[in-house]
């Protein structure tokens, strides 16, 4: 394939991690090409979020390597990975609740800001100019998810669905190269999910690589260029949405864990 010459945006090489002797991720290898929407699916407890935590530096792997834009970043701290252009959202919200909606997104600009404690204490003109730029970029990110009207409200005054979009806006404001989305559609109604679909497409169109963990199979099958299936911490299958959907091992895994109803929902 001609595409194989390209350096992967994000790559796992025989990645493993164990908790209390149980291998939560067991020799998982995957390579994500730049600019695609790459979904990781699997039954509950398959290790999807654990894999995200390994990618974003929150966990250090027991074995294996993580490559970011072709460079070995295994064991690098989350903040250093973020400064290189890896951003993520969380399955259980991690919002700065005592800050305003706009300030939340401004924090997302942190990696693009030059910070000097002394300059900040004195509020030098350079700090004020930068604050203005940060504010503008944050507003732009908010309008992408339709939250610009809420900019000045305190984050804790927002409903759940809006908070999910706020996290997305915050991650977008960091202008990542790779964006990890951990169940962005969880708790969203069908209309919100449809909007999310459009937002994710527009993100991918900009050339940002999107890695998605999601239970809403309709969303996954709609927007994914590639789908990687995990079960019990191991790779079960990988392929296009159509390939994975009809893969016997995948169907069986879903049937075995959730029963026929779930499988019908998932692949119906």
Query: Which residues of this protein are in contact with another protein, per CB under 8 A?
Result: 56-58, 77-83, 87-88, 90, 94-99, 103, 106-108, 110-111, 113-115, 117, 119-123, 127, 130-131, 134, 170, 174
**Sequential DSSP letters for 180-215:** EEESTTTT--HHHHHHHHHHHHHHHHTT-EEEEE-S
Cα atoms in the Cβ-side hemisphere of radius 13 Å centred on 214:
28
Of 110 and 218, which has the nearer Cβ to another protein? 110
Minimum Å distance from CB 169 to another protein?
12
Query: In terms of CB distance, is 53 or 235 closer to another protein?
Result: 53
Ordered DSSP codes for 48-92: HHHHHHHHTTSS--SEEEEEETTEE-TT--HHHHHHHTEEE--SS
How would you class 167 by CB atoms within 10 Å of its CB: exposed for 0-12, middle for 13-18, buried for 19 or more?
A: buried
CB of 140 to another protein, least distance (A): 17
Least distance to another protein, CB of residue 121, Å: 5
* In the complex, minimum distance from the CB of residue 97 to another protein, in angstroms, rounded to a whole number: 6
In sequence order, the 6+-apart residues with CB closer than 8 A to the CB of 243 are 227, 237
Tell me whether residue 79 or residue 136 sits nearer to another protein (CB atom).
Answer: 79
Residue 83 CB, nearest approach to another protein (Å): 4
Nearer to another protein, 173 or 227 (CB): 173
- d(C-alpha 32, C-alpha 210), whole Å: 9
Would you give the end-to-end CA distance of the chain in angstroms?
Answer: 32
CB of 22 to another protein, least distance (A): 23
């Amino acid at each position: 394939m001609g595409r194989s010459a390209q350096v992967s945006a994000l790559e796992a090489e025989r990645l493993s991690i164990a908790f209390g002797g149980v291998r939560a991720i067991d020799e998982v290898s995957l390579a994500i090409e730049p600019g695609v929407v790459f979904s990781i699916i699997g039954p509950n407890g398959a290790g999807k979020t654990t894999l995200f935590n390994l990618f974003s530096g929150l966990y250090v792997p027991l074995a294996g390597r993580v490559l970011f834009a072709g460079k070995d970043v295994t064991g690098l701290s989350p903040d250093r990975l973020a400064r290189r252009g890896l951003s993520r959202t969380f399955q259980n919200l991690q919002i700065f609740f005592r800050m305003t909606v706009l300030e939340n997104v401004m924090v997302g600009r942190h990696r693009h800001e030059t910070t000097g404690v002394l300059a900040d204490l004195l509020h030098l003109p350079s700090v004020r100019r930068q604050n203005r730029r940060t504010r503008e970029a944050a507003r732009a990110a908010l309008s992408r998810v339709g939250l610009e009207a809420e900019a000045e409200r305190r984050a804790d005054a927002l409903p759940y669905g809006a908070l999910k979009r706020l996290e997305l806006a915050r991650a977008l404001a960091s202008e990542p190269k790779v964006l990890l989305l951990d169940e962005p559609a969880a708790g969203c109604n069908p209309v919100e999910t449809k909007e999310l679909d459009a937002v994710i497409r527009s993100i991918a169109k900009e050339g940002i690589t999107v890695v998605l963990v999601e239970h809403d199979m309709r969303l996954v099958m709609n927007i994914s260029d590639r789908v990687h299936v995990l079960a019990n911490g191991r790779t079960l299958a990988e392929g296009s949405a159509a390939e994975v959907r009809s893969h016997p091992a995948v169907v069986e895994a879903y049937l075995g864990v959730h029963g026929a109803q779930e499988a019908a929902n998932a692949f119906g």
